[in-house]
Each structure stands twice: as C-alpha cells, then as structure tokens.
Amino acid sequence: MNESEQFAFSVARRVSLTLWSYANPLRVRGKTGKELCDVLIMFGSRIAIVSVKDIHLAGNTDTDLKRWRKRAIEDSAKQLYGAERWLKSGTHIVRFDDGMDLRVPPISRGNIHRIAVALGSKGKAPFASGDFGKGFVHVFDDRAFDIILSELDTPADLFNYLDAKVSLLDKGHGVHLEGGEEDLLAYYLANGRSFGSASGMMIVGQGIWGGYSSGAEYGAMKEANKASIIWDGLIEIISADVLGGGMAFGGSMSESEQALRYMASEDRYQRGKLGGAFDDFLKKSSGSLRSRLVVSPSGITYVFLATPHGTSRENRLVELSGRCFAARGKILENHTVVGIGTEQYIKGKGFSLDVLVVSKPVWTREDEMAAAKLHGIDSFFTSELKCGFDEPEDGK
C-alpha cells in the first residue's frame, strides 16, 4: 500500500472501523490476484468503492490541468466502474492482508457509491463530482475527504450524506461549488442533515465550512455527541476481541460480528444516547441495578447486564441470553435484541465484555409463553429500567 492509499484507508477506518474497511482487496484468491480497488467499505448491504490517485500537478496551463484531471479523476472513475462491474458478477472478494474470503452483497444502484480521492493538485485544480459515463462519482480532494469522514464518522451518517447528495442531483438540481466539498457538507449539516427543498441550481459559496465549524451550533452538536465516544469504545473493544479470538464465551464469531454490525449501524446522535445510557447504567450497577433495557429508534433493543466480579462468564452469558429473549417479548415491534454483559463497576478493577444477538422475526405463541415464564421469575426484571429515546430535533 503506497502513502496515498494508506491515507485513504486510515481515514476510511474512522467510519467502518476494523471489521468493515478493506485495503487493496483482490478479485481472485492469492496475493498475485488483480487488485479490485484501493479501499472497499462494505457495511451490510451498503458499499463504497474508493480509488485514490496522487498525481503531481506540474503547472497551471490548460494542458497541465487537463492532463491532471485525466490521470487523477477520469482514470479513477474507470477503475471504480470496473470494480463495480466485477462486484455485480462476483460473490466474494479476497482480503489482501490474510487471504480471507469476504461475501459480496447483491449490488444495486441504490446501495453502492463510487468515491475518487484526487490528491496532488494542492487546491490549484478546480473539479467537481459527476457522472463520468457509467454512474455518479463523488470526487474529493484530501482536505474534503478528511473532513467529511471525520464529521460523518459512522456508516449511517456517511451513507445518508452520500444518498442525499445523489438524490439531490437525481432530481435535476445542479450544484455549483465555489469552494470545496466540505462547504457542501456544511450546508447539509446546517439544514438538519438534509438538502431540504432546494430547487434549480444550488450555488454553494466558498468558506461556508470555516464559518459553520467555528459557530455555536456546531459546538453544541459536538458537546451533545461527547457521550457517543463511550459507544465507540465498546465497539472497538469488542471488535478487537473478535479479531483476537477473545470472545471465548460470546457465541460464534459470526454472532459477535453480527452484534458489532448492529451497534455500529447506529448514527452519531443515537450513539450519544446509547453511550450515555450505558455509562449511567454502569455507575448504578454497583447498587441495586443489575440490568437495563434500552430501545433505539433504529429498531434495535439493547440489554445491558452487569454481574458481580467473580461470576463465571458462562453463567453471565446464560442470564444475558434469557434477558434478551424476554426483552424480545417485551418490545414486540423490535425483532432484534443485542445483549452486552460485563461486571459491576468498581473503580480500579478490570472488566470483560460479552455480546450476543437474539433475532426472531416471528414471535410465536410458544415464545410468548416461554418469555412469560422468564418474566415471572422473582426479581428477573424488578430492577429493570426501560429507556426510550426521544426523536432528535432537526439539525441536532
């Protein structure tokens, strides 16, 4: 991986984290296979193909600019179209680092984005995203790519922005950027993560990002999202355990990975709510609070469990599984429950984490009767605290 590809990969991993961002994936088995693209972000059914070109702009004549755009952008677009064409016909890719096969979800127009990262112009070459013959390509320079993936640093937030941008253009609206893509991002964030009812030609002025990112609204958003770091930390710890084989009692790797995917599918606002709820739960877990049930607007129910230090992880997992099953029966509209188990909080003491998933699209009469028995167990849910989330206000 060269320096420019490493830049794109390190930035992309802020969004997809360790399990969902792949550098230099291969089309065939073995490291001698042909490279598919520079970076592939694959999160559930959503895919972003990234091509990076670092081309030095030698001068500023029309010929220099035309030559740079061809090599830095148009050649990237060709690579992206080729990768997409292969993904539509292939079922698996191969990770470059360890040769592991990865399943490719079905490709449709609505679940794939093409991203060209054009480096080397030092801001001297004007360019824009657009259709280069076979579909829309998002074109970013290094500054825009870094800012966008720093601000939209969850898969939900990133893909929602890319979807909104393509939808805006699909409706026949033109976008004239006087500055960079980060200025378009500022418009999107300031308008409640939407392009609203924009019509005709949208002109986005230069320097909007600078003004927005130094304003009070942006500062308030960052302050409100601080608790989301707690949720990010849980994902990273569990992710490291999955990769390192540390989820000894957390079910199969596929189950642990499933839990991670559900947790990481939450957007930044919801991660803040979940992180705050988990932090509050842990602080109270050394008292009478043993478990908490939290419902997210994403349609996922979460169950937190904290047992005394010394409790075997096998026993904790059995209890967590039972609580998740009972929670599935309590919130019938949510078919999936993610359970997170740990020890009661004691300052200075270490902790372990277990995760599991209960996913039951169909809730039968037998399930209802089994859950009723669990609810009837003395003290099973007596200390339960159900925390619902309020819907976020526009722009929050």
Q: In this predicted model, what pLDDT tens digit does every residue of 185-234 receive, in sequence order?
A: 999 999 889 887 666 677 777 889 999 999 999 998 888 888 899 998 89
Give the number of domains in the chain. Answer: 3
Closest CA to 76 of 20, 144, 5: 5
pLDDT tier, 281 (very low <50, low <70, confident <90, very high otherwise): very high
Most trustworthy range by pLDDT among 188-197, 306-315, 370-379 = 306-315
What are the pLDDT digits (tens) for 165-184? 888 877 666 677 777 889 99
Query: Does 234 lie in the same domain as 97?
Result: no
Whether residue 165 is contained in a domain is answered as: no
Give 46's strand partners: 43
CA distance 155 to 265: 6
Cα 221 versus chain centre, distance: 18
Query: Does 344 lie in the same domain as 318?
Result: yes
Query: Does 244 lie in the same domain as 141?
Result: no
Final residue of a structural domain among 101, 117, 152 = 152
Query: Does 242 lie in the same domain as 220?
Result: no
What are the pLDDT digits (tens) for 132-169? 999 999 999 888 888 998 899 888 899 999 999 888 87
Whether residue 396 is contained in a domain is answered as: no
pLDDT tier, 256 (very low <50, low <70, confident <90, very high otherwise): confident
Residue type, 150: S
Q: How many alpha carbons lie under 13 Å from residue 294 in its C-beta half-sphere?
A: 26
Query: Does 281 lie in the same domain as 207?
Result: no
CA distance 303 to 306: 10
pLDDT tier, 17 (very low <50, low <70, confident <90, very high otherwise): low
Handedness of CA 116, 118, 119, 123 (dihedral sign): negative
Whether residue 162 is contained in a domain is answered as: no
Final residue of a structural domain among 209, 224, 239 = 224
Whether residue 325 is contained in a domain is answered as: yes
In what order do the strands lie in the sheet containing 354-359?
Answer: 354-359, 336-343, 300-307, 291-295, 386-388
Query: Does 54 lie in the same domain as 144?
Result: yes
Residue type, 229: I
- The two three-digit tokens of residue 118, written as one number: 């054009």
Q: For 350-356, what is the mean pLDDT? A: 88
- Listed as own residue / partner, the contacts of 385-392 with beta carbons closer than 8 Å and 24 or more positions apart are 385/281, 385/289, 385/292, 385/293, 386/292, 386/293, 386/294, 386/295, 386/330, 387/277, 387/292, 387/293, 387/294, 387/295, 388/295, 389/270, 389/273, 389/294, 389/295, 389/296, 389/297, 391/297, 392/269
> What mean pLDDT is reported for the chain?
82
pLDDT tier, 296 (very low <50, low <70, confident <90, very high otherwise): very high
Whether residue 182 is contained in a domain is answered as: yes
Query: Does 109 lie in the same domain as 34?
Result: yes
More reliable by pLDDT, 39 or 257: 39
Whether residue 122 is contained in a domain is answered as: yes
Query: Does 9 lie in the same domain as 148?
Result: yes
Query: Does 120 lie in the same domain as 108?
Result: yes
Angle between helices 216-224 and 181-190 (to 10 degrees): 80
Whether residue 166 is contained in a domain is answered as: no
CA distance 164 to 158: 10
Instruction: List the beta strands (DSSP E) in 79-227.
Output: 92-94, 101-103, 112-119, 130-131, 136-140, 174-177, 201-204
- Per the structure, the complete domain to which residue 334 belongs is given by 227-388
Q: Is 245 left (phi over 0), alpha (psi -120 to 50) or beta?
A: left
